[in-house]
Amino acid sequence: MPKKPRKTRTERAAEIGVSLNALSSWERCGVDVFDDAQVRAKIAKMRNLPPDLKPEWHPQTASTSAPEGEPIDGSIDRLVAELHACTDKHQAQTIKLKIDGLLNAYKLRAAAGEYISRADHNDLVVRTNTTFRTALVAMENELPPMLHGADMPTIQKLIGEKSHEVLSSLKEIYKQAHDDWQAEV
């Protein structure tokens, strides 16, 4: 297989969207500017990206790779690990900016009604469990006398009706919680 001709430094700088001076600086730092992985690693560590950097060379962040509307807890864990591993003030400042940006993203999503508070979630879980437990106890007490001596189709019908009542009450709890959260937004 014939070897591809190597690009010139000028072509490589244009491909990435940086100046020749920047490319030379990276080489002095030990970066092989023709190795995409090394170039991406260098760019990811930069505090300020070159203004003409091509979009395909921008560092990938967790917020751009996470599916829309999904929590990005992996980003939080990663940022905390990076913060613990900081070796200088500039790294810490960069991570602080990332944390502030992540916090603002969460605040925006909460303001848009995409997230609910932990207290609201816990309240919903308690209400759901209480309703479900109450419904099951009611079924245990009401069904035996109703089913005594009944034929199979009648038993199935009665159990189906009682199950539907339980599910309807749970649906009503979720609807009420949703309406309450929408009223807060």
Confidence at residue 73, expressed as pLDDT on a 0 to 100 scale? 54
Domain boundaries, the chain: 8-59, 66-115, 118-184
Question: Tell me: the pLDDT tens digits for 49-100?
Answer: 888 888 888 887 544 444 444 445 557 777 778 888 887 888 888 888 888 8
Confidence at residue 4, expressed as pLDDT on a 0 to 100 scale? 60
Residue reference for tokens 């997230």: 115
Q: Count of residues for the chain?
A: 185
Tokens in use for 1?
């297989």
Question: Tell me: the pLDDT tens digits for 119-131?
Answer: 888 888 888 888 8
Tokens in use for 115?
């997230």
Confidence at residue 32, expressed as pLDDT on a 0 to 100 scale? 92
Rg (CA), the chain: 29
pLDDT band at 2 (very low <50, low <70, confident <90, very high): low
Q: How many Cβ atoms from other residues are within 10 Å of residue 53's Cβ?
A: 16
Confidence at residue 97, expressed as pLDDT on a 0 to 100 scale? 87
Q: Is residue 53 within 8 Å of 63, Cβ to Cβ?
A: no
Confidence at residue 71, expressed as pLDDT on a 0 to 100 scale? 46
The mean pLDDT of the chain is 82
Question: Tell me: the pLDDT tens digits for 32-45?
Answer: 999 999 998 888 88
Alpha-carbon separation of residue 61 from 29, 55, 102 (angstroms): 24, 13, 11
* C-alpha span between 178 and 171 (Å, rounded): 11
Alpha-carbon separation of residue 44 from 10, 23, 102, 116 (angstroms): 22, 15, 17, 33
Please tell me the number of Cα atoms within 13 Å of 108 on its side-chain side. 8
Identify how many contiguous H helices and E strands the chain contains and give both numbers.
8, 0
Tokens in use for 17?
């969207």
CA torsion sign for 32, 38, 40, 45 is negative
- Work out the end-to-end distance of the chain between its first and last CA atoms, rounded to an integer number of angstroms: 62
Confidence at residue 157, expressed as pLDDT on a 0 to 100 scale? 92
